[in-house]
Amino acid sequence: MSILLIMFLLASQAMAELTGGWHRFRGPNGSGIAEGCQPPVHLGKDCEAWRVSVPPGLSSPVLSQDRLFLTAEMDGALLTLAFDRKTGKELWRMAAPGKGTEKVHRAASQASSTPLVDNQRVIVYFGSYGLLCYDHDGKEVWKKPIPTPQTLYGMATSPIGFENTVIMVLDDDRNLPDSSLSRSRVVAFDKDTGGEVWETARPFSRSGWSTPIIWDHKEGADLVILGHGRLHGYNPGTGQGKWFTTGFSRETIAVPVANRDHVFGSSARRGGDGDIDTDPKPFWDSILPFDTNKNGKIERSEMKPPFTFPLRPELPLDHPGFGFPMPDDQKKRKERVDSILSWFDKDKDRAWSQEEFMKGFKNKPGKPFLMAVRPGGSGDVTESHASWSVNRNIPEIPSPLLHDGIIYLIRAGGVLAAVDAEKGEMIYRNRVEELGGQCTASPVYANGHLYLVASHGIISIVATGKEFKEVHSHDLEEESETTPAIDHNTIYIRTGKHLIAFRSSR
């Protein structure tokens, strides 16, 4: 190997460590992009550097120069853990004050928010407690108790950094559309002390699960938050609201992505539909097991536990994410079932026929949505600054990934779409052979490839570009619902039981 090549590789590695640090959810500015990094493209036992057991949790790993951090829950304790990146050895764990008391969905976790790390600190958020700041050796620097927002499924938004502040979106279902009464808010805290720097009310927002980004564009920088029905831009230094667009779902999860010319926000229709013209047949087929008398209808008398309205037909009936959440209280459950029944029961016979169900399904309100917004507007810019929107293949949970002018969207069922970021035109839409089922992890990019993780534990690698090319897939042999982290030669993947490092020799 020539000296020039060695110098180039060392420089590339140094640059990746400097500019591509995986310090927050989805890495640099939430983009999912690890430029200059070269993890293995073909994963397997031969490149598995280490595998260690970790307690349960849905936060994703983040990286400092030599350590990896994540959060977890165990026996009611809310934990922050640090590992050695090279060996996987656990270095320390610290418990938050008190126990996990937040009410979360069965498919969620008390430890869903991903940490934020910088050169000195690691900052974590738990819905049950608030913010905690440690140094890299696990010594507590400060703590900031925050009342738990009320949400549909539990808190999942993660802290981000801007200059010397840490920013948290704290949207609440108990909100009122009045700024003087708003429980929903975005707050900036001082990284050194935890003291409040600024707070801005979000009076039109209820609970959401998206993590914000800082959008550096040709006219400045905006703090961009995707929330209940809106994509909203703020001054990141003061919190002052600047602009917003409408048209998004009640339930927003994905992280926005951006380049210098546009910011892109996306949300599926409530319930997870990713296409404006979703085929209702799989949804009908998924609830036929509730037709116990086999008369081709779902009757009110058959709508009893575990019956629920199907949201994700690709999941098993007993999976907590299969259907619309149902109250445990018997009276409230009866009210919910009667309400669900009335949606499609047009002939009032207290039953759904296939014809009623499929017709009603096609008339569901709202739409899946990916929008491109130009910088520079103020107030409502939905009409003035939206360059384009699309309504096909929009993921429910995974965030979009923007690389080299193409937006990649992976949705349930393992369907990957590529969209031209300038024009909004679909380049391709293909099913990734091995994925299928549910996808909750967001795609990440390195070394000319997308890394796509399905919830049942298959990771598929697809080449980027205008032609679909699936390169490799690997069975992790465990469920995995969190977004991987990447450094110069390693991809770190959290499964339901382990943290695994796949490392190339480069």
In a domain, 252, yes or no: yes
Distance of CA 53 to the CA centre of its chain: 23
Q: What is the pLDDT of residue 365?
A: 62
Q: What does each of the 506 residues of the chain score in pLDDT, given as a tens digit?
A: 444 443 333 333 333 333 448 999 999 999 999 999 999 999 999 999 999 999 999 999 999 999 999 999 999 999 999 999 999 999 999 999 999 999 998 889 999 999 999 999 999 999 999 999 999 999 999 999 999 999 989 999 999 999 999 999 999 998 776 666 789 999 999 999 999 999 999 998 999 999 999 999 989 999 999 999 999 999 999 999 999 999 999 889 999 999 999 999 999 987 777 777 778 888 899 999 999 999 999 999 998 888 888 887 877 888 777 887 778 788 888 888 888 888 888 889 999 999 988 888 766 667 899 999 999 999 999 999 999 999 999 999 999 999 999 999 999 889 999 999 999 999 999 999 888 778 999 999 999 999 999 999 999 999 999 999 999 999 999 999 999 999 999 999 999 999 999 999 86
What predicted TM-score, i.e. pTM, was given to this entire model? 0.87
In a domain, 462, yes or no: no
What range does the domain containing 250 cover?
156-271+369-396
Number of Cβ within 10 Å of residue 76's Cβ equals: 12
> In this structure, are 223 and 107 located in the same domain?
no
CATH of the domain at 301: 1.10.238.10
- Tell whether omega for the bond before 306 is within 30 degrees of 0, i.e. cis: yes
Contact in structure between 117 and 63 (CB atoms under 8 Å): yes
DSSP 225-248: EEETTEEEEE-TTT--EEEEEE--
Which residue carries 């699936």 as its tokens? 470
Residues 482/264/411/288 CA torsion (nearest 10 deg): 110
Instruction: Report the residue count for the chain.
Output: 506
Q: What is the pLDDT of residue 436?
A: 79
> In this structure, are 136 and 151 located in the same domain?
yes
Q: What is the pLDDT of residue 179?
A: 65
Q: CA angle, corner 149, sides to 147 and 153, nearest 5? A: 140
Half-sphere exposure of 482 (CA within 13 A, CB side): 31
In a domain, 164, yes or no: yes
CATH of the domain at 85: 2.40.10.480
> In this structure, are 97 and 160 located in the same domain?
no
CATH of the domain at 385: 2.40.128.630
Q: What is the pLDDT of residue 309?
A: 85
Domain count, the chain: 3
Q: Where are the beta strands (DSSP E) in 324-436?
A: 351-353, 369-373, 379-380, 386-390, 401-403, 406-411, 415-420, 426-431
> In this structure, are 165 and 306 located in the same domain?
no
Q: Is the dihedral of CA 342, 346, 352, 357 positive or negative?
A: negative
Tens digit of each residue's pLDDT (9 = 90 or more) over 106-150: 889 999 999 999 999 999 999 999 999 999 999 999 999 999 999
In a domain, 463, yes or no: no
Question: What are the CB-based long-range contacts (under 8 Å, 24+) for 378-382?
Answer: 378/242, 378/243, 379/243, 379/244, 380/243, 380/244, 380/245, 380/246, 381/243, 381/244, 381/245, 382/244, 382/245, 382/246, 382/247
> In this structure, are 339 and 391 located in the same domain?
no
Q: What is the pLDDT of residue 180?
A: 67
Q: What is the pLDDT of residue 47?
A: 96
Q: Pull the structure tokens for residue 173.
A: 């279902």
In a domain, 178, yes or no: yes
Query: What single letter denotes the amino acid at residue 318?
Result: D
> In this structure, are 266 and 376 located in the same domain?
yes
Contact in structure between 501 and 42 (CB atoms under 8 Å): no
| Whole-angstrom distance, CA of residue 58 vs CA of residue 55 | 10
| Whole-angstrom distance, CA of residue 439 vs CA of residue 52 | 23
| Whole-angstrom distance, CA of residue 378 vs CA of residue 252 | 22
Contact in structure between 250 and 228 (CB atoms under 8 Å): yes
